[in-house]
Structures are given as structure tokens and as C-alpha cells.
Amino acid sequence: MRRQPIDPILAEEPEAPTRLCDHPGCAAGGDFRAPRSRLELNHYYWFCLEHVRAYNLSWNYYAGMNDTEVEAEIRRDTVWQRPSWKLGERYGPRPPHLRDPFGFQEKFEQAKAGRRAHNEARDPAKRALSARDQALAVFDLEPPLTAAELKARYKVLVKQHHPDAHGGDKAAEEKLKIINQAYATLKATYTN
């Protein structure tokens, strides 16, 4: 409660209220504030305790709204005032009774699905690409390739690097393994 500076001359007199209760005809002090309306939440009536209680009891936030406006207001309130559990459903399924009027949850799920697909696609694609590129390098070939061209090149390479042609050379054996792997990779890619 705000107090006026005490005038020494009037010190004996009862304190004059800084403002009177806004209730018509009430002479008590308006010490308790209450918003004038939902559109004027920063503008207040000032009431005495008795009248602020009465005002609060009768105050209807939705006064003056039609059904559609009331519903929109409730939705807005649900979305904006409690986002922590509204949008925070990311770690579990969304309870079916919760509405999502602006599609936030849907957008969130879409974004999540898109991110997941992106992450899943990226690495295997990269691996597949590099495996094919390596195989092409082993075969010393460049696309486009037909299966026949591939097979012909394979025969040449096997002949060149066959261990039998290198006296059972370990290096040749390794090289043949690599050629076989590359051939398998390229056969999978260029089949016609």
C-alpha cells in the first residue's frame, strides 16, 4: 500500500487513501488492482478488498467474444502459454487429445523426418559413390560402361595380375583380390 508523505500537522488524522475504490459509491481505498478487460490487461481498476473480490468473481475474460473467438483464444493460450509441454512431446507420442491448431507438431515431425532421411542417405550414398569410384580406378575405366566392356576389362586384368603369372607372388594375389572386389562392385552398378 502506498502512503502519502505524512504532513506533521495532519499526523493525528486518519490517512487519506491515495485513490478511492473504483466501485461506484464506495469510499474505501482502492488498494487492489484488477485488469479492466482482456484487451486492457495493463490498465487497471483499483478496488478495495471487498470489491476486488467481487470483481474477480464476476470477471469474464471471454466477455464480448463469440464462440469462434473464444475457441481461438483458448487455442492460442494452449499453444503459446504452455509450449514446454505442448511442443515438448518430442520424446514421446503426442497425446491424441492435444490439439495442434497451427501444425507446429506436424512441422516439427516433418523437419525431424527430413533430417533423419538426410542423415541416413548421406553416408551410405557417399560410401557407395566412393566404392564405385575406387573400383573404376582399379579397372582404369570411366563411365558409361556396359557389362560386356566391364567383363572384357576384367579378363585382361585377371590375366595381368594372376598369381600364377607371377610365380605365386603375394602382391599379385592381393592385387587380384582387389580386382575381384572392384569387379563385384562394378557389376552391381553396371548391369544391362
Please give the residue ranges that form the binding site for Zn ion (CB under 5 A). Answer: 21, 23, 26, 28, 48, 51
Looking at the Cβ atoms of 21 and 182, the one nearer to Zn ion is 21
Looking at the Cβ atoms of 51 and 153, the one nearer to Zn ion is 51
Q: Which is nearer to Zn ion, 56 or 160 (CB)?
A: 56
Q: State how far the Cα of 143 lies from the Cα of 135, in Å rounded to an integer.
A: 11
Peptide bond into 144 cis (omega under 30): yes
Contact yes or no for 33/59 (Cβ under 8 A): no
Residue 82 CB, shortest distance to Zn ion, in Å, is 35
- Is the CB of 53 or the CB of 82 nearer to Zn ion? 53
| Shortest Cβ 107–Zn ion spacing (Å) | 50
Least spacing, CB of residue 63 vs Zn ion, in Å: 21
Phi, psi at residue 23, to the nearest 5°? Answer: -65, 130
Least separation, in Å, of the C-beta of 46 and Zn ion? 9
Measured CA to CA, the distance from residue 145 to residue 186 in angstroms comes to 9
Chain centroid, CA 52 distance in Å = 43
